[in-house]
A = this chain, B = another copy of it.
Amino acid sequence: MRIETVTQELSLKRSVDSGTEQQRAAVQQIIRTVRSDGDAALLAYTRQFDGAELSDMRVTPEEIAEAYQAFPKEMAEVIKEAAGNISLFHQKQLRQTWTYTDQNGTMLGQKMTPLDSAGVYVPGGTAAYPSSVLMNVLPAKVAGVKRIVMVSPPGSDGRLPAGVLVAADIAGVEEIYKVGGAQAVAALAYGTETIEPVDKITGPGNIYVALAKREVFGDVDIDMIAGPSEIVVLADETAYPAEVAADLLSQAEHDPRASSVLVTPSRKLAEETAAEVEKQLKSLPREEIARKAIEDYSAIYVTKDMQEAVSVVNQLAPEHLEIMTEGALSIVENIRHAGAIFIGRFSSEPIGDYFAGPNHVLPTNGTARFSSPLNVDDFMKKSSLIMYSETAFRENADKVAAFARLEGLEAHARAVEARKEQ
């Protein structure tokens, strides 16, 4: 693993796949076809892309029951416990409608309302993660979204993985369709005979899914489009190299374009961690993927002190940040940009991926500068409340009319003045 002394500019390759013109055109074509042909288009694409011949896309209660049969009981229990933790953490985020009334009797406030509906995309194949189901569905559930729809591409046998169905059932999803790709996104955005449209689409997917989400954005809401996973470990000489290395590799195994970075003022830790990474890599089942990520998109930065290390972290604005230093908690207030901050030795990143409660859908590719983990606010909207009192009105009507006229909007001024006459 590459060790660099931080001088000026950080040299870290980042990978954003924004798709080719051809892919974009293909996605636009799929969306048009779904909008015009509805279910027939969905079934045809599922035949073409997933090799599955379906007559009905909706998952039946029998399929859910079969999934439970096929799934290890003790794992269903772990999923339930994780779901409980995730729900609890997200409940703490719930905000209530608030109002206040000033001395003039004017009431102002914000009304909080859950979205009517949300659609969750779950990728197929090896990326069909039960944990993603929980992380996308439960914030919407906690927000109070009544209708939650899940879509996922079936295998060529026309089925969804048992783990995904069990997680969906535990999370309380009652409407699941076996359809994936850009066609599923189009169906969620615009509806078909079978699938009613939703207000927001979340969840990860391949480049076609990402491009489709970008296309429908505005007609429905979407979550951020995720890039490859990233971890930054901020550590000093009190950290254990074997643990740091293991955490770096846990992100590296996700994707050959994943990025794992150690930032430390300790050259000793840097060198020992690099050696540990090499040692641990050799025995990983996904060695090839992880090795590419480590070689191409990862680095160890040695800084002159902890202050410079924190500044490097803020420059990177990582998706995941682990702090394994003396007095780790006191460093948190200086972190300006990070999706999730894991504090101390026992907060290994997979704890957060699966179990602790906070969401694992996090801003990637530096977008932690301006965006947040998936959360309950993402499934609610605010409406401003304005109940102006007569007293306040009589006091301020002329000012408002003057302001409107200043902007050349005479009808605005007259709307206010219309009240003065009665």
Q: Which residues of A contact B (CB under 8 A)?
A: 72, 74-75, 78-79, 81-82, 89, 92-93, 98, 100, 106-108, 110-111, 113, 115-116, 126, 129-131, 163, 199-200, 218, 220-221, 224-225, 240, 242-243, 246-247, 249-250, 252-254, 280, 284-286, 290, 328-329, 332, 335-359, 362-363, 367-373, 375, 377, 381-390, 392-393, 396, 399-404, 406-416, 418-419, 421-422
Contact status B346-A413, CB under 8 Å:
no
**Cross-chain contact B371 with A221 (CB below 8 angstroms):** yes
**Are A343 and B403 closer than 8 Å at their CB atoms?**
no
Residues in chain B near residue A402, CB distance under 8 A = 74-75, 78
Copies in the complex: 2
Instruction: For the complex, give the distance between the alpha carbons of A416 and B78 in Å.
Output: 16
Across the interface, which residues of B come within 8 angstroms of A373, CB to CB?
A: 382-384
Most B C-beta atoms less than 10 A away, residue of A98, A116, A246, A284: A246
Of B242, B384, B414, the contact of A246 (CB 8 Å cutoff)? B414
B356–A106 contact, CB under 8 A? yes
User: Quick check: B387 and A347 within 8 Å, CB to CB?
Assistant: yes
CA distance A93 to B96 in the complex (A): 12
Given A371-B381, A404-B354, A415-B349, A341 contacting B386 (CB threshold 8 A) = yes
What residues of chain B lie closer than 8 Å to A129, measured between beta carbons?
407
Q: Which of B82, B246, B363, B396 interacts with A351 by CB under 8 Å?
A: B396
Q: Which residue of chain B is the closest to A200 with respect to CB atoms?
A: B370
**A381 and B370 within 8 A (CB):** yes
Inter-chain contacts of A355 with B (CB < 8 A): 396, 399-400, 403
Which residues on B sit within 8 Å (CB–CB) of A93? Answer: 110
What are the residues of chain B within 8 A of A250 when measuring CB–CB? 409, 411-412, 414-415
Bound complex: CA A385 to CA B409 (Å):
48
Most buried by B among A335, A342, A372, A386: A386
A295 CA / B313 CA spacing, docked (Å)? 57
Neighbouring B residues of A247 by C-beta, 8 Å: 415, 418
Determine the distance from Cα of A362 to Cα of B335 in the docked complex, in whole angstroms. 32
Query: Told that A243-B418, A328-B387, A358-B386 touch, could you supply 19 new A-B pairs with CB distance under 8 A?
Result: A75-B402, A79-B403, A92-B98, A110-B375, A218-B225, A220-B370, A242-B418, A246-B411, A253-B410, A329-B387, A332-B385, A340-B386, A341-B383, A341-B384, A342-B388, A346-B419, A351-B393, A351-B416, A355-B399
